[in-house]
């Protein structure tokens, strides 16, 4: 989707998101300046394979939602409580100064809790989820704030997610479609939405 106008620039009917389907879709496109995505690692690999030097913006809502789910609503561990508080505000970052505060707080958290979290037994669900959250932030951080330097880059995939939610709602009303008609339905849906 082109975030500026909300139009779908390319689409493909496929049963799941994976590396091969993403590569096929991306090779049909003119290289964009940047792309905002969730954290699907196979999609990230496909993007880097097709456009090695593209700016990848990680969706802040996906980062926040996944992290908060792993940390739980009322965490008991001080490390989880502190990290949860930090992540509650990540989608509100609108300036370089706010970004610097976030990174500074993250680095302080990592210095205080990072190695303790790594040493927690990973066979315990709460501990392993805290470790996963830490890993998510470490890997996402380099690509979390490109939108601050270029306001044309959306910080979230919310516009596309909303479009897809409406598509799924309407699509479910036609449950008996054959495989070929499913693809045709998607093609017509995108066509009519784009011309509106």
With vertex at residue 42, the alpha carbon angle to CA 33 and CA 14, rounded to the nearest 5 degrees, is 90
Q: Is 21 exposed, middle or buried (0-12, 13-18, 19+ CB in 10 A)?
A: middle
- Residue 172, pLDDT score: 85
Helices 96-119, 125-140: crossing angle, 10 deg rounding:
140
Please provide the distance, in angstroms rounded to a whole number, between the alpha carbons at the two ends of the chain: 15
- Range list of H helices, the chain: 19-27, 41-50, 60-71, 78-87, 96-119, 125-140, 158-171, 179-195
pLDDT digits (tens, 9 = 90+) for 16-57: 889 999 999 999 999 999 999 999 999 999 999 999 999 999
Quick check: 175 pLDDT over 80? no
Quick check: 87 pLDDT over 90? yes
Instruction: Please state the φ and ψ torsions of residue 9, each to the nearest 5 degrees.
Output: -95, -20
- The total number of residues written for the chain in this structure: 196
pLDDT digits (tens, 9 = 90+) for 120-139: 999 999 999 999 999 999 99
CA gap 24, 161 in Å, rounded = 21
Domain range list for the chain = 66-140
What residues does 129 pair with on adjacent strands? none
Quick check: 168 pLDDT over 80? yes
């Amino acid at each position: 989707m082109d975030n500026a106008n909300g139009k779908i620039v390319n689409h493909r009917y496929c049963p799941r998101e994976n590396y091969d389907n993403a590569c096929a879709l991306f090779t049909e496109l003119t290289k964009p300046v940047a792309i905002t995505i969730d954290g699907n690692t196979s999609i990230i690999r496909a993007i880097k394979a097709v456009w090695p030097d593209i700016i990848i913006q990680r969706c802040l809502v996906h980062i926040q939602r996944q992290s908060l789910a792993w940390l739980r609503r009322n965490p008991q561990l001080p490390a989880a409580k502190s990290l949860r508080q930090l992540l509650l505000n990540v989608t509100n970052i609108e300036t370089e100064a706010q970004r610097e505060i976030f990174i500074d707080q993250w680095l302080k958290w990592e210095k205080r809790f990072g190695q303790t979290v790594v040493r927690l037994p990973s066979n315990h669900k709460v501990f392993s989820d805290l470790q996963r959250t830490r890993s998510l932030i470490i890997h996402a951080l380099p690509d979390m704030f490109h939108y601050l330097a270029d306001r044309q880059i959306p910080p979230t995939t919310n516009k596309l997610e909303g479009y897809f939610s409406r598509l799924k709602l309407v699509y479910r009303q036609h449950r008996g479609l054959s495989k070929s008609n499913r693809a045709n339905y998607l093609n017509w849906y995108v066509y009519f939405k784009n011309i509106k």
